[in-house]
Amino acid sequence: MQPSSSTADFTQLGPWADMPAAQQPDWRDHAAYHAACQRLASAPPLVTASEIRRLRWSLSRLMTTGALLLQLGDCAESFYECAPRHISEKLRVIDELGDRFSELTGQSVIRVGRMGGQFAKPRSQETERHGTLIMPSFRGHMINSDIATPATRKPDPRRMLWAYDASEKVQRAMQTHRRGNGRTATMEGPWSSHEALVIDYESRLIRRDPDTDDLFLTSTHLPWVGERTRRPADAHVALLSSVMNPVGCKIGPTANPDEILRVCEALDPRREPGRLVLIPRMGRDRIQEVLPPIVRCVANAGHPVVWLSDPMHGNTVTSRLGLKTRHLTDVITEALRFRDILEENGQHAAGLHLEVAADDVTECIGGSVENEDELQRHYTSLCDPRLNVDQAGELIEAWAKGTAPGS
């Protein structure tokens, strides 16, 4: 699949160009902006149309086969963790947890990494506090630096090119790894995924498949639209609705059925199995009230969606010392409630979307991290608190048993 001249025109003139787009970096006046966009528009695809079709096909079979999906990785991927040793650690963790999920449930598990492009973060606050200083928020390495000075926090469009290069390294390693896993029927993946947040970047990596004339987003296999950017009439949904990839959509605690139906209609107008992955992230308590009517409406409207639980983003709290954290007990409770709600409504609970670190971090409370005082021991996340592998293993075990540990 090669970039064609019509691709560049299309991405300039994509229907989303004039639509509202939340969470975009203010960098159009930067001297490097146009050159960066141009280079992306003629860059080779990072993933292929045939890989994307393969993942869509696998997702379309989930509902009938009862297979599961496990999507996991960093909240914010780092430019400094794309060397071979970092990538192989992350892939090892995906394999280990995917195998565990498969063994405990007796189902095959499609594995998807939050990696190979997860470099841009939506933020609720424009600024963040560092000691006595107030700085612009960190927005992911595709946009600005994690180093907190006014200069390094300025959005820099050249970062889109660095994100492309970093993604390429990760994607190549994932491709090699998939070839090894492909020898086993129950070990599909790992495929790549990230939040399609920066419209300047994503729109320039859309390519037309000359064999079918279809458009594909070639920055990743499974892009998703976040809770803050999923408005049906906005640019992010329009961009994802124009491509053939399977697409995800987060659903937060304030969502209502009408709004989600409009998102489904935009992203899955033809009601195709394997196209749309809906990812509730409502919080341990809110999920009980908010999710059931949404599940029923989506099912009644005939959208054959893959339902995935993100039990992390609705359960974030701030510890006494000011660190963001999550309690594993809350995470497990939300995941089990999700499963029950889906099953009570006759739908397949397809699995989990998690933030998990490859090394032994102390960012969430639970298991070996007994209390808030232990959080500082090894807290390295660039953004949200991640589970360590043991904590993720406990969650997967609870899902498989259908009960929380100790109950």
Residues engaged in binding Co ion (CB under 5 A): 75, 384
Q: Which residue is nearest to ligand PEP (CB)?
A: 226
In the bound state with ligand PEP, the residue whose beta carbon lies nearer, of 22 and 404, is 22
**Regarding beta strands 276-280 and 306-309, do their DSSP bridges make them parallel or antiparallel, or are they unpaired?**
parallel
Pick what 227 binds: Co ion, ligand PEP, none; C-beta below 5 to 8 Å, kind-dependent: ligand PEP
Cβ pair 333, 406 in contact under 8 A: no
Least distance in Å: CB of 308 to ligand PEP?
A: 12
Residue 313 engages ligand PEP in binding (rule: CB under 6 A): yes
- Residue 72, beta-bridge partner list: 113, 354
In the bound state with ligand PEP, the residue whose beta carbon lies nearer, of 228 and 262, is 228
- The residues in 18-37 that bind ligand PEP, with binding defined as CB under 6 A, are none
Tell me if residue 350 falls in helix, strand or coil.
strand
Least distance in Å: CB of 384 to ligand PEP?
A: 6
Q: Which helix (H) or strand (E) holds 250?
A: strand 247-251
Q: In whole angstroms, give the CA distance from residue 363 to residue 371.
A: 10
- The residues in 233-262 that bind ligand PEP, with binding defined as CB under 6 A, are 250
In the bound state with ligand PEP, the residue whose beta carbon lies nearer, of 227 and 334, is 227
Q: Which of 226, 248, 304, 385 binds ligand PEP (CB under 6 A)?
A: 226
Peptide bond into 190 cis (omega under 30): yes
Burial (0-12, 13-18, 19+ Cβ within 10 Å), 101: buried
Cβ pair 67, 109 in contact under 8 A: yes
In the bound state with Co ion, the residue whose beta carbon lies nearer, of 69 and 75, is 75
Stretch that binds ligand PEP, among 93-101, 220-228, 323-331, 356-364 (CB under 6 A): 220-228
- Tokens 């630096």 appear where? 145
Least distance in Å: CB of 227 to ligand PEP?
A: 4
Cβ partners under 8 Å of residue 206, min gap 6: 7, 10, 11, 14, 215, 216, 217, 218, 239, 242, 243
Spell out, one character per residue from 373 to 392, where the chain touches ligand PEP: x when CB under 6 A holds, - when not. Answer: -----------x--------
Pick what 281 binds: Co ion, ligand PEP, none; C-beta below 5 to 8 Å, kind-dependent: ligand PEP
Amino acid occupying residue 73: G
In the bound state with ligand PEP, the residue whose beta carbon lies nearer, of 10 and 191, is 191
In the bound state with ligand PEP, the residue whose beta carbon lies nearer, of 154 and 228, is 228
- The residues in 330-359 that bind ligand PEP, with binding defined as CB under 6 A, are none
Residue 303 engages ligand PEP in binding (rule: CB under 6 A): no
Least distance in Å: CB of 75 to Co ion?
A: 3
Size of the site for ligand PEP (CB under 6 A): 9
Residue 227 engages ligand PEP in binding (rule: CB under 6 A): yes
CA 348 from chain center: how many Å?
Answer: 20
Cβ pair 243, 216 in contact under 8 A: yes
Least distance in Å: CB of 382 to ligand PEP?
A: 11
Eight-class DSSP state of 117 = S
- The residues in 87-146 that bind ligand PEP, with binding defined as CB under 6 A, are 122
Q: Which of 75, 148, 290, 358 binds ligand PEP (CB under 6 A)?
A: 75
Q: In whole angstroms, give the CA distance from residue 45 to residue 21.
A: 24
In the bound state with ligand PEP, the residue whose beta carbon lies nearer, of 111 and 207, is 111
Taking residue 205's Cβ as centre, other Cβ atoms within 10 Å add up to 28
Cβ pair 281, 324 in contact under 8 A: no
Residue 364 engages ligand PEP in binding (rule: CB under 6 A): no
Q: In whole angstroms, give the CA distance from residue 183 to residue 401.
A: 28
**Contacts to ligand PEP by CB under 6 A:** 75, 122, 226-228, 250, 281, 313, 384
